[in-house]
Structure 1
Amino acid sequence: MSSQKLQTKILNEEFVQLDLSKYQSKVSAIHHHLETTKDEPTGWLNAPLEDNSELVKRIIEIANEIKLNADVLVVVGIGGSYLGAKAIQEALTPYFGTHPNGIEVIYAGQNLSGAYINQLLRSLTNKRVYVNVISKSGSTMEPALAFRVLRQYMEERYGDEAVQRIIVTTDPEKGLLNHMAEKHNYRTFDIPQNIGGRYSVLTPVGLLPIAVAGIDIKELLNGAKQAAIELKEDSLEKNEAYRYATIRHELYNQGYKVEMLASFEPGLASFHEWWKQLFGESEGKDKKGILPVTSNFSTDLHSIGQFIQEGSPILFETLLHFEGISEDYIVPYDVRNEDLLNYLNDRSFNEINCISKKGTAKAHADGGVPVIQLELQQLDEYYFGYLIYFFMKACAMSAYLMEVNPFDQPGVEAYKKEIKELLSIDNINLDDTVSINI
């Protein structure tokens, strides 16, 4: 076992009977391909190792401007354009209220609900507003419609000042949103062309909203950098991301077609959604792939726990475990003891939560469910940056082990096409939009 900052453990290996050594040569070949390919969008692999100080400085400057002049930032995006930012924001800010170093960050463009957009606009009354629209092309329907509404709202409310209050994150050279930004002189951040949406959270796509929310993006990137350094090896003994990917693949070959990611901290619910898109969109091709599902424990133990313990043997479980949580609360003594809980007097909620975690993992493992546990020291920016990079690298390896491309999403393009045809939208070359009257 390696000494890396994230440890991968399988809690019932004697039951699962894993033999990972047979995959080493294939893992090495895939590793070499990832490190050398020029044909795939793998810019995220070495991005944490590059000097990004000027970009980070500019992001922080604009984030500080927004925090000074606004009460709320509305982030417009869908999929990888918002899931990562929302995941980090919710994991690292208070459950109630905003981060002491940030302002409110809310999201639009991730659905087509008229009620949602209506209520969002009403919520902005008496609040100072900035908008950050995020899309590589600008043509994805959900965020494009939301931005149409919000751009009109900002222009009607702020007039010429709206240009200063709209920040565009998009492709640096092409697409509807790129041309719109150029025409109207919006300030822009680039989405790197060699990084796909679900791998983009550590670029301006995620970093600007995260910084506005009050998160320390320098520490986030430091954690990702440490992961990029530690996960450079091709050895399954030394690379925890590849070890996790290979365990998943072996379980898949043994008939476990569903992976349930679970954690015992409710702030990680949106992180689960980011993970679900990362693996679902990367692996689910050619009638292959592990179905990614998620649970928030202990809440979901009272709804899905029975199925996990004794239901169809189709799933394995991956538990996220953080040794340190920043806040805690001691169970008080109650002289009445009507709830019969005085035996927990002087124990903390986190201590009880940790015991619940251990008991749940043991029960599921004893019940025959393969249980992987991913262990990190702290739930903070540094370790979260590490965890994000870990999952991205593990996902690329896992998809290639299944012999599918981790970086495309043909099924997504298929349903987009069907929706447009049903709405009678003419076919438009979205990479050649200069002549379109915006």
Structure 2
Amino acid sequence: MARGPRRSLVTFEFDPSDEDLPGQVQSEASGLCPDIERLIGRRSSVPWLNLPFAIREGDLARLQEIALELRANSDVLLLLGSPGLEAAACSLIRVLGPVLPEGGPRLEFIGRDWSGTMRLTRLLEWLGDRRISLVGLISENFSPLNSACLSILHEHVERRHGPAETARRVVLAGSGAQTPLARRAQDSGLRVLEHPLFLPEPYAALTPAGLFPAALAGVDPTALLEGARSQARSMEGQEPASLPAVQYALARLLLAEDGRDLEFVGAQGHPWTGLAREAERILAIPLQGNRRTPLPMAWCPEAPPSRRDSWLERGSLKAFGTWINTPTPDGPAIPEDRLGADCPDLEELFLGPLEQSLVRAEAAAWRHAGLPVLQLRMARPDPLSTGALIFFLQCVRGLSSAWHAPEADARVSPSARHQQDKGQPASQTANRAPQSNEA
């Protein structure tokens, strides 16, 4: 029996109030079809597209075995990495975990919670006689200060457990950067979880630097990778204009071209704000060269625009919003006897519909503040769909970066091709050539 295309676990919806944007995106996608096919087609060799398939099954099984071993033999798991790597790990854990059993080990992120000499001193005092394991999250941004801190903590673990056991308790997890630190660790007998592809930190969530901390928190890394792989396969053999990642990437660029160069990223409440934080981190591309079209700056504020009266009072904002939706179950329900005598007309209150109504109200408030709202919908609130969304966002970043390479002559705004169609000299236009170092 012939099988149809694999269903995408992430869907994209335009703002219903913007009637022109879908047609503009369709036109751009049709014109960019050869470039899109080169980036995400079957023969593509760009690293970010092959990221979910790069880790071998044996390496993934080893990652899980080491995570189980450290969890079973530790009271405290210390994790130290650059801010970007710690943020990726924290986002996954915040969304999907921790799901450790009662009395399981405590995870402490050193850079986030214990950075600074005085706080590090207090950490060493607090550790006392607890069983300690240490994980270094390694990337090209692992600073000399991180290295010094890792060395201090390594010595502390060695004094507490002895050299032989320390070799089992100190693990380095890499994001693809073949650093001298990782090579020295291997030479000294420490275990190192490496990734075969070199990619910038925004892609780290699906490398050992993101998957290993998630596994330490009880999250299934296999499900995360399977979700990413499923999302990658859903793009095979499809028309570029029909792909949600292409539509979202082009919609962001067209809105930025229209002057909306600030993108608010939000989600429908705890713990999914962790996904909004990760989306902000992935989509944030530093300015390079002299762009004719600015890339939107992604920002996940502590409070959405609807909760900031000063923003609403400004009227129309030159910005737009991306809202991440996840299905909300119908339960649990609050029984009638818990509502009290003050609510005689309410039989029971289901939290699912209530939260969905709050989501609709939030999106409506964004639109009232003048923000077109793009919506990303996950199939389910689980590791599979979370992995799919992370890969989806990484594809959007890869496409956006490719269309805005550092060489200014290789880039044009989305509307430049239309100017050429109207008879403008060809020398005034150029193709969006995918020449980014991320491609």
TM normalised by structure 2 equals 0.79
How far the C-alpha of 1:102 sits from its partner, in A, is 6.3
* C-alpha distance 206-215 of structure 1, shift in aligned 2 (>3 A): same
For 1:234 and 1:140, the matched residues in 2 are separated by 42
Distance in 2, Cα, partners of 1:10 & 1:171: 33
Tell me, yes or no, if the aligned pair for 1:84 and 1:271 is still in contact at 8 Å: no
Which residue is equivalent to 1:293? 299
The partner residue of 1:270 within 268, 274, 279 is 274
Q: Aligned equivalents of 1:238 and 1:150: distance in 2?
A: 50
Q: Which residue of 2 aligns with 1:353?
A: 355
In structure 2, the residue matched to 1:394 is 396
Structure 1 residues 275-332: Cα deviation after superposition (integer angstroms, max 9, x where no partner): 222222x353236321111146xx6467436515754512111111111359745275
Most deviating of 160-169 and 221-230? 160-169
Q: How does 1:344-423 map to 2 (within 5 A)?
A: 346-404=348-406, 407=437
Q: Specify the SS of the correspondent of 2:264.
A: strand
Count residues with an aligned counterpart: 398
**Residue pair 1:220, 1:384 contacting (<8 A) in 2 also:** yes
1:198 aligns with 2:202: yes
Deviations 1:389-421 (A, max 9, x none): 00000111122333456556xxxxxxxxxxxxx
Offset at residue 356 of structure 1 (A): 0.8
Contact conserved, 2:30 with 2:240, CA < 8 A, in 1? no
CA drift of 1:220 comes to 1.2
Contact kept in structure 1, 2:224 and 2:384, CA below 8 Å: yes
Q: Could you tell which deviates more after superposition, 18-27 or 196-205?
A: 18-27
Deviation at 1:240, TM superposition (A): 0.6
C-alpha displacement at 1:36, in angstroms? 8.2
Q: How far apart, CA to CA, are the structure 2 residues paired with 1:168 and 1:274?
A: 22
Question: Equivalents in 2 of 1:72, 1:217: separation in Å?
Answer: 21
Q: Aligned to 1:134, what secondary structure does the other structure show?
A: strand
The AA in structure 2 aligned to 1:261 is: V
Q: CA deviation at 1:221?
A: 1.2
Q: Using the alignment, how far apart are the partners of 1:28 and 1:191 within structure 2? A: 31
* Counterparts in 2 of 1:308 and 1:389: CA distance versus 1, 3 Å: farther
State the distance in 2 between where 1:211 and 1:406 align: 32
CA contact (8 A) 1:207 1:217 kept: yes
Say which SS state the counterpart of residue 24 (structure 1) adopts: helix
| CA distance, structure 2, for counterparts of residue 265 and residue 86 of structure 1 | 16
Tell me if 1:151 matches 2:192. Answer: no
Gapped regions of structure 1 (runs ≥ 5): 409-438
1:31 and 1:371 map into 2 onto residues whose CA distance is 25
For residues 40-66 of structure 1, the C-alpha deviation after alignment (integer angstroms, 9 at most, x for no partner) is: 8x3331242467211111111111111
Decide whether the 8 Å contact of 2:38 with 2:44 is kept in 1: no
Q: Conserved in 1, the CA contact under 8 Å of 2:79 and 2:134? A: yes
Q: State yes or no: 1:67 paired with 2:68.
A: no
1:158-197 mapped onto 2 (5 Å cutoff): 158-160=161-163, 161-170=165-174, 174-197=178-201
Asked if the contact 2:54–2:197 (Cα under 8 Å) also holds between the matched residues in 1, the reply is no
Q: Which residue of the partner structure matches residue 253 of structure 2?
A: 249
Is this contact kept in 1: 2:94–2:271, CA < 8 A? yes
Which residue of structure 2 lines up, in the alignment, with residue 426 of structure 1?
none
Match of 2:340 in 1: 335
Shift of 1:116: 4.2
Secondary structure at the counterpart of residue 369 of structure 1: coil
Deviations 1:321-348 (A, max 9, x none): 11135974527544342xxx66665113
- Contact 1:6–1:375, Cα closer than 8 Å, also in 2: yes
Judging changes above 3 Å, is the alpha-carbon distance between structure 1 residues 13 and 334 closer, same or farther for their aligned structure 2 residues?
closer
- Show the counterpart of 2:420: none
Residue 109 of structure 2 is aligned to residue 133 of structure 1? no
CA contact (8 A) 1:278 1:395 kept: yes
In structure 2, relative to structure 1, the CA distance for the partners of 1:196 and 1:367 (3 Å cut) is closer
Cα distance between partner residues in 1 of 2:80 and 2:314 = 42
Instruction: Output the amino acid matched with 2:194.
Output: D
| Kept in 1: contact 2:157–2:166 (CA 8 A) | yes
Percent identity of paired positions between Structure 1 and Structure 2: 20
Q: TM-score, normalised by structure 1?
A: 0.80
